[in-house]
Structure 1
Amino acid sequence: MRRGRSRWIWRSWRARFRCSSSVVAASRLRVASICVFGTWHQASILGPCLAELGHTVVGISATPSDLDSLASGQPPVYEPRLPELLARHLADGSLRYDVDVRSAVDGSDFVLISLDTPVGPDDVPIVEPVFDAVRQVALGARGRKVLVVTAQVPVGTCDRLLALAQRAGSGASWSIAYVPEFLRLGIAVDLFLRPDRIVIGSDDPGVSDSVAEIYAGIPAPIVRVGLRTAEMVKHASNAFLALSVSFINEIANLCEVSGADAPAVAAAMKLDRRIGARAFLSPGLGFAGGTLGRDVRALQALGARSGIETRLLDSTMDVNAARGALVLDRLRASLGELSGRTVCLLGLTYKPGTSALRRSASLELAEALIAAGAGVAAHDPMVPTSRASELPTGLVVVDDVYAALAKADAAVLMTEWSDYTDLDWSRVAADSPRMLVLDARNALDQGAVTAPGLRYWGIGRMSPGQEGL
């Protein structure tokens, strides 16, 4: 265990980013000693990826038992490429996990607070764990340290965190920067190594420069702004995405009553260069998981404290809240009374490419269906029967997708895994000839579903014969 303040060293480094076949070379990167506080999704990505850039990284946590899995090469949630990165850098010694918080902090130049900020049932951010983390790393710290907050926090929080660190750690000289993360479950490693931009917020240009050195070699523009501006960038970015989701879902409602096709409308809109091909315009169930809602709630709270109306943000949340009843309403419209009916949920995870179940819309739907008296079966490639203890009581997980679908009155696509877009619908129809397929993600081939006689219902679209559903 290295003690005392580590030294900065210069060395040549060729960083190989495996996001594509290209090799990005960055010479003479400044190698830093970095401490990452946290053990769930964000921290599990940052540790190995920072080691991939050539830095020396140690992971710490408030609950040392959470470090065991990471130290043995097991990420807390599935992410493509993460197990390989984790294993490689644990093996070469550039990444380790330590239960001794004080020693780890003393040996680091930068201390990253990389918690996934929890949210309440109404998506309001719960920031107490972030403050607790700063107290722990600051207590007994020595020397000059840069506190880098990547956790999602309301604007103005970083000023309070710096004041807390300065009070708690009398033996250290603390400065602070906020680097909002824009990771997404299922593609987080690629987004870290090839982001659209890196935002660094600090009111001290020298601190901003030193933090920028951490990300040297990543092929992305670095945007340097003030501390509170960086916090607002995170809020505004996610609030805009949330607004986009609610906008297209409201358009989808109007498409259904007018006979228009919402996915086709969205596709045409994205060809407008002012909107763009990657715009968040996919009609569906709305945003879930707390990620977007957390930032909208933070802005609403700021407005309420400041006497500023947030009517657009309020409407964004209202439209999204109404999407929660969409699937249940459609199942009742098609099947009538749900008691005694069997519904198969295709997909349980928050989104494809991840094993995360936290705040999953599919689990919320399962609970509502069970409460209504329906039998609920489910399949998900990342949720085997061995994970049944994580699921609502009464939800039956089946490892074979065709067995899960057998004899169901309705199937609801909740997570757009390729396992479902490639299904043999003739095989499904052989067991359930009158099944309703409710495509909540508009990911299925409507013609392939209806060809063997199954009924199809997408979001924001109507097809011949469906007007009476």
Structure 2
Amino acid sequence: MKISVVGGGYVGLITGACLAEKGHHVTIIDIDKEKINAINSARPPIYEKGLEELLARHSGKNLLASTGYESVRDSEISIICVGTPMGEDGSADLKYIVSAAESIGRELKNSGVYHVVTVKSTVPPGTTSGIVVPAVMSASGNNPNIGFAMNPEFLREGIAVDDFMNPDRVVIGSDDKKSGDLVESLYSDFNIRILRTGLVSAEMIKYASNSFLATKISFSNEVGNICKSFGIDVYEVMEGVGLDHRISPYFLNAGCGFGGSCFPKDVSALIHLAKSKGVDPVLLRSVLKVNEVQPLLIIEILKKRLGDLNGKRIAVLGLAFKGDTDDIRDSRAVPAIERLIMEGVDVHAFDPMANENMKAVFPEITYHDSAAGALENADGCLVMTEWPEFSRLDKEFDKMKKRVIIEGRRILSIPDAEGICW
């Protein structure tokens, strides 16, 4: 099948590369020429496990990238994967959705071949039917040969390729059978349950899923803070909690909170949506409040151990919002570093993948190419990301003036590290 993927970011690139792996002919459309050149040269513009190998097999063959929308005319499906960043009021900014829909519509004007426009971006309920459909239809001259579907993504950064190829479920929303059937054919050789819904329900499933997972994390962190006050190991507690099949053990790891491109903005968007309908989302507001405060608790623990932080040298290990990615969006290291800078700290940082990305946010701090370098002569250390290689650190901490080590993720295997909530 010929497919056009609009948006060469995280979701679009993974979607396009994985569909190419499944034998489809894919064109990724993006306005960033540097990104397009990288994809066509089989150089992944982002770090994601397995992506480099996919590009090596398919770039220049059945996976192409372009700045133009011409491929839409010959495609059977267009998949919109553009960003929906959080606006100042917490709502989802849909300007890229509108632009993509209008551009697709213009290419389909006078087309006599049936084509399905599929939204994969995370969008508020009602966006596909209320914004995408009118924009496409208006730009296409009300071409009757266009169908619409909503196919939310459930990809976890770091293992997104595996998530796409081996999904928990596939959700396809459509208001007519023909368009949903065509999108479902993309997954014909996936041995997985496919849930067919209406457009609006599919949009809400994505928001509800991410908000529930974020809630589990904030709940675990709040319980962790209580456990710490009692001297209880929260990981033992949550292991017992997670054995209940109604709860499951996933997303119960207490720490310094959630970040990334999805959870913070999706919970905020759902809060905004609820308020617009006159509903007060008390629980969701609390989820975000816990998450905002959590990474700052690690600074308070550091101050209890070291006293006044002004002039102290502090190592920060881990800058990405999670391991196995270079993504720093809403990383819990950001508010922690902000507070350290406010306290007059000399910050020395290291991340296996995210140093360069974080330099754009904090050019004034010192970056190192190893954990050992960041730890040299440090008064204290904060571990903010669960990189597997950090679990092997031990003697490197001897380079510090004193082994004052506090971790926001339970990744270290040394006995003298203190956890943020354990």
Q: Check whether TM > 0.5.
A: yes
In structure 1, C-alpha distance between the alignment counterparts of 2:408 and 2:168, rounded to whole Å: 29
Question: Superposition pairs for residues 20-419 of structure 1, below 5 Å?
Answer: 32-91=1-60, 93-101=61-69, 103-120=70-87, 124-141=91-108, 142-143=111-112, 144-159=114-129, 160-170=131-141, 172=143, 173-277=145-249, 279-383=250-354, 389-419=359-389
**8 A Cα contact 2:350 2:374, kept in partner:** yes
CA offset digits 1:37-63 (Å, max 9, x no partner) = 111111110111001111111111234
320-329 vs 146-155, which moves further: 320-329
Post-superposition offset of 1:298:
2.3
* Mapped pair 1:438 → 2:397: no
137-146 vs 125-134, which moves further: 137-146
In structure 2, C-alpha distance between the alignment counterparts of 1:43 and 1:427, rounded to whole Å: 39
Post-superposition offset of 1:446:
4.1
Unmatched segments (≥5 aa) in structure 2: none
Post-superposition offset of 1:358:
2.6
CA offset digits 1:158-208 (Å, max 9, x no partner) = 112111110111173322111110111100000000010000011112211
**8 A Cα contact 1:34 1:109, kept in partner:** yes
In structure 1, C-alpha distance between the alignment counterparts of 2:342 and 2:177, rounded to whole Å: 56
In structure 2, C-alpha distance between the alignment counterparts of 1:223 and 1:46, rounded to whole Å: 19
Code of the residue aligned with 2:14 in structure 1: it is: I
**Do the aligned partners of residues 259 and 58 (structure 1) sit closer, same or farther apart at CA in structure 2, a change above 3 Å counting?**
same
In structure 2, C-alpha distance between the alignment counterparts of 1:99 and 1:432, rounded to whole Å: 50
Secondary structure (helix, strand or coil) at the match of 2:149 reads strand
In structure 1, C-alpha distance between the alignment counterparts of 2:33 and 2:374, rounded to whole Å: 39
In structure 2, C-alpha distance between the alignment counterparts of 1:427 and 1:369, rounded to whole Å: 22
In structure 1, C-alpha distance between the alignment counterparts of 2:264 and 2:64, rounded to whole Å: 33
CA offset digits 1:403-446 (Å, max 9, x no partner) = 210111111111111221101x23422x3252211110022124
Secondary structure (helix, strand or coil) at the match of 2:59 reads helix
Size of the aligned set, in residue pairs, is 417
Unmatched segments (≥5 aa) in structure 1: 1-31, 451-455, 462-469
Post-superposition offset of 1:371:
2.6
**Do the aligned partners of residues 121 and 264 (structure 1) sit closer, same or farther apart at CA in structure 2, a change above 3 Å counting?**
farther
**Do the aligned partners of residues 426 and 61 (structure 1) sit closer, same or farther apart at CA in structure 2, a change above 3 Å counting?**
closer
Post-superposition offset of 1:293:
2.2
**8 A Cα contact 1:117 1:152, kept in partner:** yes
Code of the residue aligned with 1:276 in structure 2: it is: S
**8 A Cα contact 1:38 1:61, kept in partner:** yes
**Do the aligned partners of residues 327 and 379 (structure 1) sit closer, same or farther apart at CA in structure 2, a change above 3 Å counting?**
same
Pair member with larger Rg: 1
CA offset digits 1:287-326 (Å, max 9, x no partner) = 1124112222222222212112211112212222221421
In structure 2, C-alpha distance between the alignment counterparts of 1:188 and 1:293, rounded to whole Å: 19
**8 A Cα contact 2:48 2:325, kept in partner:** yes
Secondary structure (helix, strand or coil) at the match of 2:386 reads coil
* Mapped pair 1:459 → 2:385: no
RMSD: 1.8
**Matched residue, 1:26:** none
CA offset digits 1:225-271 (Å, max 9, x no partner) = 11111011101101100111111111011101122111111111111
In structure 1, C-alpha distance between the alignment counterparts of 2:74 and 2:385, rounded to whole Å: 43
In structure 2, C-alpha distance between the alignment counterparts of 1:121 and 1:252, rounded to whole Å: 31
Identity %: 35
Secondary structure (helix, strand or coil) at the match of 1:139 reads helix
Code of the residue aligned with 2:27 in structure 1: it is: V
**Do the aligned partners of residues 440 and 129 (structure 1) sit closer, same or farther apart at CA in structure 2, a change above 3 Å counting?**
same
**8 A Cα contact 1:39 1:76, kept in partner:** no
TM-score by length of 2: 0.94
